[in-house]
Amino acid sequence: MSKLNLKDIKQKLNTERELLIQKLNGNDLSIDDSETPDPVDLAVRNYSKNVMLAVSENESKQLTLIDDALRRIEDDEYGPCQNCEKDINPKRLNAIPWARYCLDCQELLEQGLLDEE
Ligand SMILES: [Zn+2]
């Protein structure tokens, strides 16, 4: 069996989770429309709003992955790749505790050759 320290992994996941939630809450997407901004100002605001939305999207996705990993720890299903069910390299899991796939499958995923469930 792998030498995964689940307690350690869980702590990392929770720390990362807190950080993400803080970041997501810190992104204030509401824009004050009470005053009429000049067009340049408006363009800048819209631009940063879009950037922030893109960032939140990434972060929400990662948050989902983290929640998923925490659930797998609870269910005693943490460790194997979600695609080929081989054990993910513990080094990889220590570095990226929310990883769902082994390196091989991650590569397939990035090439678009793996269907995410
Ligand atoms: Zn795999």
Ligand 1 centroid from CA 87, angstroms: 8
Tell whether the model's pLDDT for residue 117 goes beyond 70.
no
SS3 of residue 80 by DSSP: strand
Q: What is the pLDDT of residue 14?
A: 98
Ligand 1 centroid from CA 1, angstroms: 17
pLDDT range class, residue 25, cuts 50, 70, 90: confident
Ligand 1 centroid from CA 109, angstroms: 10
DSSP state of 31: -
What's the token pair of residue 114?
Answer: 């793996």
Ligand 1 centroid from CA 113, angstroms: 12
Q: Summarize the confidence of residues 16-20 as an average pLDDT.
A: 95
pTM above 0.85, yes or no: no
Ligand 1 centroid from CA 114, angstroms: 10
Write out the CATH class of domain 6-26+38-110.
mainly alpha
Cite the DSSP H helix spans in 5-38: 6-26
Domain ranges of the chain: 6-26+38-110
pLDDT digit string, tens, across residues 38-73: 888 888 888 887 877 777 888 999 999 999 999 999
